[in-house]
Amino acid sequence: MKILLTGGAGFIGSAVLVALLKRGEEVVVVDAFEETLYPRWRKEKNLEWARTFGDFEFHEVDIRDADSMSALVTPELNAIIHLAAVAGVRPSIEKAPLYFDINVTATSLLLELGRKAGLERFVLASSSSVYGNNTKVPFAETDDVSNPISPYAASKYALEVLSKTHVNLHGGHVSCLRFFTVYGPRQRPEMAMHKFMDLIAKGEAVPMFGDGRTARDYTYIDDIVSGVIATLDRPDGFKVYNLGGDRVVHLDELIATIGRIVGREPVIQKLPMQPGDVPLTNADLTISRAELGYDPQTTLEAGLEAMWQWYQTFEVR
């Protein structure tokens, strides 16, 4: 297959890129090294790592740039995997227009360019954040998600609505993947696990927002990648799938586990809950198991151990 992969220099994107290269696919990567969350050099390192698995075309292009994108979305493509976005709940509260510009308007452009090129297969990154303060657990794809509590969540919900509209009007296959907190080697440095590992390794205080009883369904990067690839292989009209880790972990337990793996007792600084943060995420995997054969394999301990191994070679400055 020839696949256009947006956001391929990012954390999840570079891991998906490696999986595609291992399968022998021809990949065209687009990334603008957008720096709202973290610096360009880390993304260049991700691409460097991916290059050790094979060759791919790379274009430093902003997905909002219609002219450049229309030159890349050609009839030779078999599919688009669209992961480029500004992620992160908290920064979205200050930067809602940017989040909508990149996550929504540019996605609409991509769907439209794909349609014009006769392309039928799209896999898009959504997020577990669409579930907001959902109190029904576990969170199922059929739950009402029309009550987002951050601009980031709203942008991903809008992406799903756009995708459904696209399929209603034009047919084809658009799958939106609700990733549940992804972790592992190359995780974005502003994400909690990466920050906690860094602070504990340096013997610095770990800010703990809330009483430690907030909980997340953490998903190891290899499991997410297997879900993305399974989705690519199973086009089925408009679809939404949860991709989670199949286990919920409380924040205090997470910090203690990282401490054990790093070999240092964490020093905890208790802080109030942050606006936009949700108390719990918990994926119902019934649909993704049945339709994608998705089956997350990595325990939290094994995933954190792999991340720690990576951290020690990569982050030592």
Ligand X SMILES: NC(=O)c1ccc[n+]([C@@H]2O[C@H](COP(=O)([O-])OP(=O)(O)OC[C@H]3O[C@@H](n4cnc5c(N)ncnc54)[C@H](O)[C@@H]3O)[C@@H](O)[C@H]2O)c1
Sites of contact with ligand X (CB under 6 A): 7, 9-13, 30-34, 37, 43, 62-64, 83-87, 102, 106, 125, 127, 179, 181-182, 188
Eight-class DSSP state of 101: I
Please say which residue, 112 or 264, places its beta carbon nearer to ligand X: 112
Query: Helix H segments across 144-280?
Result: 151-170, 192-201, 221-232, 251-262
Please say which residue, 270 or 314, places its beta carbon nearer to ligand X: 314
Burial class (CB in 10 A: 0-12, 13-18, 19+), 37: middle
Query: Helix H segments across the chain?
Result: 11-22, 40-51, 66-72, 89-94, 96-100, 106-116, 151-170, 192-201, 221-232, 251-262, 286-292, 300-314
CA atoms within 13 A on the CB side of 235: 14
Measured in degrees and rounded to the nearest 5, phi and psi for residue 138 equal -70, 165
| The pair of three-digit structure tokens given for residue 261, joined into one six-digit string | 């793996």
Report the nearest approach of ligand X to the CB of residue 188 (Å). Answer: 5
Report the nearest approach of ligand X to the CB of residue 217 (Å). Answer: 11
Residue 50, amino acid: A
Report the nearest approach of ligand X to the CB of residue 157 (Å). Answer: 12
Please say which residue, 48 or 265, places its beta carbon nearer to ligand X: 48
Please say which residue, 85 or 113, places its beta carbon nearer to ligand X: 85
Report the nearest approach of ligand X to the CB of residue 150 (Å). Answer: 12
Q: Which residue is nearest to ligand X (CB)?
A: 10
Sequence-distant (6+) residues with CB within 8 A of 35 are none
**Among residues 38, 152, 183, 241, which one is catalytic?**
152
38 is catalytic: no
Please say which residue, 87 or 258, places its beta carbon nearer to ligand X: 87
What are the strands of the beta sheet with 238-243, ordered from one edge? 57-60, 26-31, 2-6, 79-82, 121-127, 173-179, 238-243
User: What distances in angstroms separate CA 9 from CA 1, 71, 115, 242, 269, one per listed residue?
Assistant: 20, 20, 25, 23, 33
Report the nearest approach of ligand X to the CB of residue 221 (Å). Answer: 9
Report the nearest approach of ligand X to the CB of residue 227 (Å). Answer: 12
Give strand pairing partners of 215.
250, 280
Cα separation of 315 and 317, whole Å? 6
Cα separation of 15 and 69, whole Å? 22
Please say which residue, 37 or 137, places its beta carbon nearer to ligand X: 37
Report the nearest approach of ligand X to the CB of residue 179 (Å). Answer: 4
Please say which residue, 43 or 121, places its beta carbon nearer to ligand X: 43
Q: 89: closest CA among 248, 281, 220, 274?
A: 274
Which residues are identified as catalytic?
Answer: 152
